[in-house]
Homo-oligomer: A and B are copies of this chain.
Amino acid sequence: MKLYEFAPAPNPRRVRIFAAEKGIDLETVQVDIRAGEQFGDAFRALNPYCTVPALVLDDGTCISESVAICRYFEALKPDPPLMGTDALEQGQIEMWHRWIEFHGLSAIADALRNTAERFKNHAVPSPKPYAQIPELAERGMSRIGDFFEMLDARLAESSHVAGEDFSVADILALVSVDFAAVVKKTPSDDLTALKAWHERVSARPSASA
């Protein structure tokens, strides 16, 4: 199998970290989304929705969407578990994962995609063109600050995002916090629980995958 990705983008990084935690070696192929390669015929034939990452299996089957690829890996190689084992853990990890995605990464994406020149007619990750909305970028910027505060509050009560164990929710939160730098947002020093957690998860070897 091959992972089609673009190294600087946040969604591929989620998958690379997840695979590294699982000990899964990934052969990667770069798709330069800054140059619009995701809309070219070659990539479109693999993934008609024109998004990275996309995992292409040896028989040509394509799994797109970072979480879907992670779920495929989780079932393929259950240890170490990153999406929970019993029902409650699975539910709580999913809850926190979605919460981080909605309040964190989506807000950052709104801020970036609705201002950066390279997303001018592609403010929505889709094969269809959509114009940028500057007001949505502003809302995104404001939401990022709220996200940092809410994440700090959560990490003040729990060593990891979804509970006491490292999970896919920590991966997404790490990727989101780091990616916020693209719109010049970083957590302020008074968010001490967030800062301490960030230092811990960044020290894991997977963080540099």
User: What 0/1 pattern do residues 55 to 99 of A give for CB contact below 8 A with B?
Assistant: 101000101110111011111100000000011101110110011
Interface of A is mostly: helix
Identical chains in the assembly:
2
User: What 0/1 pattern do residues 123 to 154 of A give for CB contact below 8 A with B?
Assistant: 11010101101011001001100100000000
- Chain B residues positioned under 8 Å from A73 (CB to CB): 87
Please report the C-alpha to C-alpha distance between residue A6 and residue B198 in the assembled complex, in whole angstroms.
37
- Chain B residues positioned under 8 Å from A136 (CB to CB): 133, 135-136
Please report the C-alpha to C-alpha distance between residue A45 and residue B112 in the assembled complex, in whole angstroms.
34
The reply to whether B71 and A94 form a contact with Cβ atoms under 8 Å apart is yes
Please report the C-alpha to C-alpha distance between residue A98 and residue B102 in the assembled complex, in whole angstroms.
12
Please report the C-alpha to C-alpha distance between residue A126 and residue B103 in the assembled complex, in whole angstroms.
8
Within the complex, the shortest CB–CB distance from A151 to chain B, in Å, comes to 12
Closest B residue, CB atoms, query A106:
B106
- Chain B residues positioned under 8 Å from A76 (CB to CB): 87
The reply to whether A63 and B75 form a contact with Cβ atoms under 8 Å apart is no
The reply to whether B126 and A130 form a contact with Cβ atoms under 8 Å apart is no
A166 at interface by CB-CB < 8 Å: no
Please report the C-alpha to C-alpha distance between residue A91 and residue B1 in the assembled complex, in whole angstroms.
14
The reply to whether A92 and B67 form a contact with Cβ atoms under 8 Å apart is no
Please report the C-alpha to C-alpha distance between residue A69 and residue B92 in the assembled complex, in whole angstroms.
9
A43 at interface by CB-CB < 8 Å: no
User: Would you mind naming 21 contact pairs between A and B with Cβ atoms under 8 Å apart?
Assistant: A57-B88, A61-B88, A63-B88, A63-B91, A64-B95, A65-B99, A68-B91, A69-B91, A74-B90, A75-B86, A75-B90, A76-B87, A103-B126, A124-B139, A124-B143, A130-B142, A130-B143, A131-B139, A133-B139, A135-B136, A136-B136
